Amino acid sequence: MVRADPYHWMRRTDSPVLLAHLEAERLWYDTATGHLNSLVETLRSEMLGRVPATDRTVSWRLQGCSYYTALPAGREHPQLLREKDDSDTTEVLLDVNELVDDSGYVELGLSVVSPDQKWLAYSVDRTGDEVYELRFRDLETGADLPEVAPRTYYGGAWSSGSDQFFYTVHDDAYRPFQVWRHELGAPVADDVLVLEEPDERFELSIRATRSGALVVIWAESRDTREVWVVDAASPTSPPRSVGGRRPGVEYHAEHVVLPDGTDTLLLVTNDDATEFRLVRCPVPRDSDQDHTSWSPARAERPDERLERVDGFAGHAVLSFRSQTQHRLRILPLDALDGDGIVIEPGFDRGTVEIGPNTDYHATTVTVEDQSYIEPPVWSAVSLRTGERTELLRRRAPGHHASAYVCESRSVPAPDGTPVPVTLVRHRDTPLDGTAPALFYGYGAYEAVYPDQEWDPAIPSLLDRGVVYVHAHVRGGGEGGRRWWLGGRLEHKQNTFTDYAAAADGLAGLVDGERLATRGLSAGGLLQGAVFSQRPDRWRAVVAEVPFVDVVTTMLDASIPLTITEWDEWGDPRRREDFDWMLAYSPYDNPPSGPRPDLLVTGALHDPRVMVFEPAKWVARLRETDPGWSPRCLFRVETGAGAHVGPAGRFAHLGYEAEIYAWVLDRLRPGND
C-alpha cells in the first residue's frame, strides 16, 4: 500500500514555506475575484438588509428569571441578558463583543448559569481552533474569578449546590477525552479528574439533566455509546454507568420522575432497533449497571427515526424524523407507548425542533419552526393539549416568504433508490429547464445539514433566477438510520452517485448546462468526489474546507479526528478499506478531460479539516492540468478563522456574499 505523495511537505503547517504558499494563494484569490467586488458589496448589503438591526432569541426560564441572547445594533456578537420577575431591570451578564482581542476573532463555546443564578461559566476561542478558555463570572459584581482553565471543549454542568463545575478537556488530537471538576474559588491546578476515556475512538461529552438531579457524561464513537451519571447533589461521588458499553449499541439518557414517584432514566437506543426505541431503567447510584436493567417503554417504529427524548414533570417530548421531515411527539409519562400528540412543522417543507427549555416543571414546551424561506418562529406548545401560542418571530426586513416556493421531488439513484431533493425558487422562476441551479449536499454522520433552515443569504440567489437544490443523499440522516448505513464505509460511493443522479434527474427542470454545486467539510468531500467523477455535470464547484485527502488523513492517527472517524470512513490500514477509500479519494483521483471552475476554501487554524488537505488538492489539480489551473481558486484564511468561516453575523454574511458572487458569475449565460 505505497502511494506517491509529492505534496506531503505541505503537512508542516508551521513551515515558513507553506505559510508563504498560503499567503500567495490568498493573494491570487483576491486578485482573481477583484472584478466581483461590486457584486459582493451588493449581495452583502442585500443579505444584511434581511437581518434586523437588533435581534434576540426566545427566552428560557430558570427559577424566577428569564434569560435570552440579543444582538445589539451594529455589533457582530450577542449579549447574554437576564430579566428577574421581581425587577424591571435588564442585566447584561456577558457581552461577547467585549471579549474580542487583537485577533478580531471570538467564538463562545459555552455559557451556563449556575442553579443559584449567582455564577456564569463561559468559554472563549480566539483563533478558530476550538480550544476554549474557561472562566467563571460573579453575576452580582460582573467580575471574573481569577481561576482560568486554558484548554477546554464544548459542554459543561454545574453541581446542584452551584459550587462545582464539570467540564471536558481535549488532547493534542482535539479529542475530548477527560471530564474534570472545578471547585469555585480554588486553583485550577486543584481540579479533580472525574473520568478519562482511554479508547481513542471515543469522545466524551457532558451536560446536566433538566431536572437538575444528575450530571450526564457520555463516551461516543460513530456507532457505540456509553453513558454515566453523577448525582448533582453529591458531585464528588463517582460516575456510574447506565448500561455499559457494547459495540454497535448507542443510547442516550434523560432523567424523569414517573407519576408513581419512581426516579428513572429514559433511554433512546438502537439496541435491537435499527431506527431506535425507548427504554427505561433505574438511576444507578451505588454501582454501575448494564443493559439487563433496561425495560421496554416504547417499541421501534420502522418509519420513524427516534432521535431524542426530553423529560418534563408529567410528560416526555420525543424528537423524530419521518419522511425526511423533523417532528415532535408529546407523551404522558404513564403512556409512553401511545400515539400522544404529534407536533407537525408549522411551515410547508419546514422543520420543527424543540427549543430552549430549562424548566422541568413547565406546562408548555418551547418549539422552533423555520424553513428555507421562513425565518424562525418560536411557540409555546401545551404539553397537555398541543395548542400552539406564538412567542417570538424573527424579523427579516424586506423579505416576503410568499414570493418564493419550496417543494420536494425525488429522483432514482443508479440502484433504483429514490433520492429526495428540495427545490427552492422565486415564484417567477419557472421549472422549464431554463433556470440555473445551485446544488447543496452533505451526506455523512447521519446528519441533516442544513435542516430546512432559514438563511438570509439564499434569497439573493433566488431573486436572480437561480434555483437552490438541496439533495438529501445517503450518508445523511434524512431517511433515518438506514439512510446513513447506506452511505458510510464500503457504501460511501452511494453518496456520490446519489448526488450526481439528482443533478441528472433535474436537468429537465433546470438548465443542465448551468449547474453549480456547494458543500462544506464532509460535504466538501462530496464536492471533490463529484468534481472528479462527473466533471461534465457542473459549470462550477465550491468545495469548502473539503476532506479530500482521504487515505493519507485516515492513515495518520496523529491528526485530529482521524481515529474517531474510522467508524465513518473506514480504517485504511485494512486492505479492503484502503481500496474503497482510494477509489473515491479526490486527491488520488483528479478528473480526466475538461473540468469545471473550482473554488476551494480552507483555514490555517481549522482543527477539523487541516489546511494542508485543500492546499495539497489544489496543488495536485493544478499540476495535472496546467491549462485549467487559473480557473481554480483557493480562498484560505491565514489568520484567525474557523471551520465554518468567519465568526460574527456581518463577517459571515460577507463571506457568503463572496461565495455567491463567484457562483453567480460562473452561472452567467455564455460564461463557459
Tell me the catalytic residues: 521, 606, 643
Which residue, among 529, 578, 533, has the nearest Cα to 554 in the 3D structure? 578
Cα 537 to Cα 330, 456, 503, 513, 663: the distances in Å are 45, 28, 8, 8, 15
3-state secondary structure of 9: helix
Instruction: Please give the Cα distance from 470 to 526 (Å, whole number).
Output: 13
List 133's β-bridge partners, or say none.
124
For residue 200, which phi and psi values (nearest 5 degrees)?
-70, -5
Which cell is 608 given?
477539523
**Residue found under cell 417567477:** 428
DSSP 292: G
Number of DSSP helices (H) and strands (E) in the chain, helices first = 11, 37
Instruction: Please give the Cα distance from 564 to 296 (Å, whole number).
Output: 31
Instruction: Please give the Cα distance from 20 to 18 (Å, whole number).
Output: 5
Q: How many CB atoms lie within 10 A of CB 34?
A: 10
Which residue, among 156, 196, 191, has the nearest Cα to 175 in the 3D structure? 196
Angle at 565 between CA 560 and CA 566, to 5 degrees: 125
Instruction: Please give the Cα distance from 181 to 167 (Å, whole number).
Output: 7
SS3 readout for 220-258: ECCCCEEEEEEECCCCCCCCEECCCCCCCCCEEEEEEEC
Q: How many CB atoms lie within 10 A of CB 624?
A: 13
Which helix (H) or strand (E) segment holds residue 531: the answer is helix 522-533
CA-based end-to-end distance of the chain:
40
Which residue, among 561, 550, 408, 420, has the nearest Cα to 493 in the 3D structure? 550
